[in-house]
Structure 1
Amino acid sequence: MYIPPVHAEERLSVLHQIIRDNPLGILTTAIESPNHPLILSSHIPFLLDVPETADGTLPNGILRGHLARQNPQSKVLTEALAAAARSEHGPHALELPGEVLVVFNGPHQHYVTPKFYTETKPRTGKVAPTWNYSAVQAYGRITVYSDSGSAETQAFLQKQLEDLTLLGEKEVMGFTEPWEVGDAPESWVRIFKKLIVGVEIRIERLQGKVKMSQELPRGDREGVIEGFERMDTEAGKGIARAVRECATGNSRAARRQPAEPGGGRRTAHPPVHDVQIRRRPGQTDPQRGSGGNCASSHGHHAAANPAPQADFDGRSYVYSREFAPNATRFEAILSSLLNGHAVSYSSGLAAVHAALVLLNPRRISVGDGYHGCHEVISVVSRLSGLQKLALDCPAESLGEGDVILLETPVNPLGTAFSIAEYAQKAHARGAYLIVDSTFAPPGLQDPFLWGADLVMHSGSKYFGGHSDLLCGVLATQRQDWAKRLFEDRVALGNVVGSLEGWLGVRSLRTLEIRVQRASQNCAHLVSWLQGALIASSPAQGSEERIVQTVLQRIYHASLQDEPWLLQQMPNGFGPVFSIVLQSETFARTLPSRLAFFHHATSLGGVESLIEWRAMSDSRVDRKLLRVSVGIENWQDLKDDLLQAFRSLAGSSD
Structure 2
Amino acid sequence: MTDHKFATAAVHAGQEPDGATGAVIPPVHFSTTYAQDGIGGLRGGYEYGRAGNPTRTALETQLAAIEGGARALSFASGLAAEDALLRALLQPGDEVLLGNDVYGGTYRLLARVLGPWGVKLRVVDISDLAAVDAALAAGTPKIVWVETPSNPLLRITDIRALAAKAHAAGSIVVVDNTFASPALQQPIALGADVVVHSTTKYLGGHSDVVGGALVFADAALAEQPQFLQFAAGGVSGPLDAWLTTRGIKTLAVRMERHSQNGQAVADFLAGHGRVARVYYPGLASHPGHEIAASQMSAFGGIVSLALGDAAAARRFAESTRLFTLAESLGGVESLVNYPDAMTHASVRGTELAVPEDVVRLSVGIEHIDDLLADLDQTLAGL
Bucket of the pairwise TM-score, normalised by the shorter protein? 0.7 to 0.9
**CA shift in 2, pair 1:249/1:621, >3 Å:** same
**Kept in 1: contact 2:202–2:251 (CA 8 A):** yes
Using the TM superposition, give the Cα deviation of residue 365 of structure 1 relative to its aligned residue in structure 2, in angstroms. 0.7
What is the CA deviation profile of residues 272-311 of structure 1, one whole-angstrom value per residue up to 9, with x for unaligned ones?
3532574237635768497x222222222459886xxxxx
What is the CA deviation profile of residues 297-328 of structure 1, one whole-angstrom value per residue up to 9, with x for unaligned ones?
2222459886xxxxxx7x34221111112211
Matches of 2:52 and 2:23, distance apart in 1: 16
Match of 2:294? 567
Matches of 2:118 and 2:38, distance apart in 1: 41
Match among 114, 135, 139 for residue 398 of structure 1: 139
**Kept in 1: contact 2:17–2:24 (CA 8 A):** no
Instruction: Describe the SS at the equivalent of 1:271.
Output: helix
**CA shift in 2, pair 1:501/1:301, >3 Å:** farther
Instruction: Describe the SS at the equivalent of 1:434.
Output: strand
Matches of 1:416 and 1:432, distance apart in 2: 19
2:232 equivalent to 1:492: yes
The structure whose Rg is larger is: 1
In structure 1, runs of 5+ residues without a counterpart are 1-247, 251-265, 307-312, 533-546, 649-653
Matches of 2:209 and 2:228, distance apart in 1: 23
- What amino acid sits opposite 1:487 in the alignment? F
Matches of 1:610 and 1:322, distance apart in 2: 38
**CA shift in 2, pair 1:301/1:628, >3 Å:** farther
Matches of 1:337 and 1:322, distance apart in 2: 23
Matches of 1:397 and 1:635, distance apart in 2: 51
- What amino acid sits opposite 1:317 in the alignment? Y
Match of 1:374? 107
Equivalent runs, 1:62-461 vs 2, <5 Å: 250=3, 270-276=6-12, 278-280=14-16, 283=19, 288=25, 292-301=28-37, 315-340=44-69, 341-360=71-90, 362-368=94-100, 369-378=102-111, 379-390=113-124, 391=126, 392-393=131-132, 394=134, 395-399=136-140, 402-461=142-201
Match among 333, 338, 347 for residue 607 of structure 1: 333
Using the TM superposition, give the Cα deviation of residue 636 of structure 1 relative to its aligned residue in structure 2, in angstroms. 1.0
Match among 248, 257, 262 for residue 522 of structure 1: 262
**Kept in 2: contact 1:364–1:387 (CA 8 A):** yes
Q: Which moved more, 1:504-513 or 1:352-361?
A: 352-361
Using the TM superposition, give the Cα deviation of residue 353 of structure 1 relative to its aligned residue in structure 2, in angstroms. 1.3
Using the TM superposition, give the Cα deviation of residue 430 of structure 1 relative to its aligned residue in structure 2, in angstroms. 0.7
**Kept in 1: contact 2:157–2:291 (CA 8 A):** no
- What amino acid sits opposite 1:353 in the alignment? D
**Kept in 1: contact 2:281–2:289 (CA 8 A):** no
Match of 2:308? 582
**Kept in 2: contact 1:363–1:389 (CA 8 A):** no
Greater RCO, CA 8 A, separation 6+: 2
Match of 1:633? 367
What is the CA deviation profile of residues 464-499 of structure 1, one whole-angstrom value per residue up to 9, with x for unaligned ones?
111111111101121212232211211111111122
Match of 2:277? 553
Match among 484, 507, 511 for residue 247 of structure 2: 507
Kindly tell me the number of residue pairs found equivalent between the two proteins: 358
Match among 179, 192, 216 for residue 476 of structure 1: 216
**Kept in 2: contact 1:398–1:431 (CA 8 A):** no
What is the CA deviation profile of residues 221-250 of structure 1, one whole-angstrom value per residue up to 9, with x for unaligned ones?
xxxxxxxxxxxxxxxxxxxxxxxxxxx965
What is the CA deviation profile of residues 498-517 of structure 1, one whole-angstrom value per residue up to 9, with x for unaligned ones?
22111112211211111111
Using the TM superposition, give the Cα deviation of residue 562 of structure 1 relative to its aligned residue in structure 2, in angstroms. 5.0
Q: Over the residues paired in the alignment, what is the CA RMSD in angstroms?
A: 2.4
Instruction: Describe the SS at the equivalent of 2:60.
Output: helix
What is the CA deviation profile of residues 30-83 of structure 1, one whole-angstrom value per residue up to 9, with x for unaligned ones?
xxxxxxxxxxxxxxxxxxxxxxxxxxxxxxxxxxxxxxxxxxxxxxxxxxxxxx
Matches of 1:506 and 1:447, distance apart in 2: 23
**CA shift in 2, pair 1:589/1:278, >3 Å:** same
In structure 2, runs of 5+ residues without a counterpart are none
Structure 1 length normalisation: TM-score? 0.52
Matches of 1:286 and 1:321, distance apart in 2: 25
Matches of 2:174 and 2:81, distance apart in 1: 11
**CA shift in 2, pair 1:387/1:277, >3 Å:** closer
Match of 2:319? 593
What is the CA deviation profile of residues 11-41 of structure 1, one whole-angstrom value per residue up to 9, with x for unaligned ones?
xxxxxxxxxxxxxxxxxxxxxxxxxxxxxxx
Instruction: Describe the SS at the equivalent of 1:382.
Output: coil
Matches of 1:275 and 1:463, distance apart in 2: 12
| Larger strand share, 1 or 2 | 1
Matches of 1:305 and 1:473, distance apart in 2: 29
Fraction of identical pairs, as percent: 32
**CA shift in 2, pair 1:329/1:444, >3 Å:** same
Using the TM superposition, give the Cα deviation of residue 620 of structure 1 relative to its aligned residue in structure 2, in angstroms. 1.2
**Kept in 1: contact 2:55–2:242 (CA 8 A):** yes
Matches of 1:354 and 1:485, distance apart in 2: 6
Matches of 1:469 and 1:287, distance apart in 2: 22
Using the TM superposition, give the Cα deviation of residue 451 of structure 1 relative to its aligned residue in structure 2, in angstroms. 0.8
Instruction: Describe the SS at the equivalent of 1:375.
Output: helix
**CA shift in 2, pair 1:333/1:285, >3 Å:** farther
**Kept in 2: contact 1:301–1:316 (CA 8 A):** no
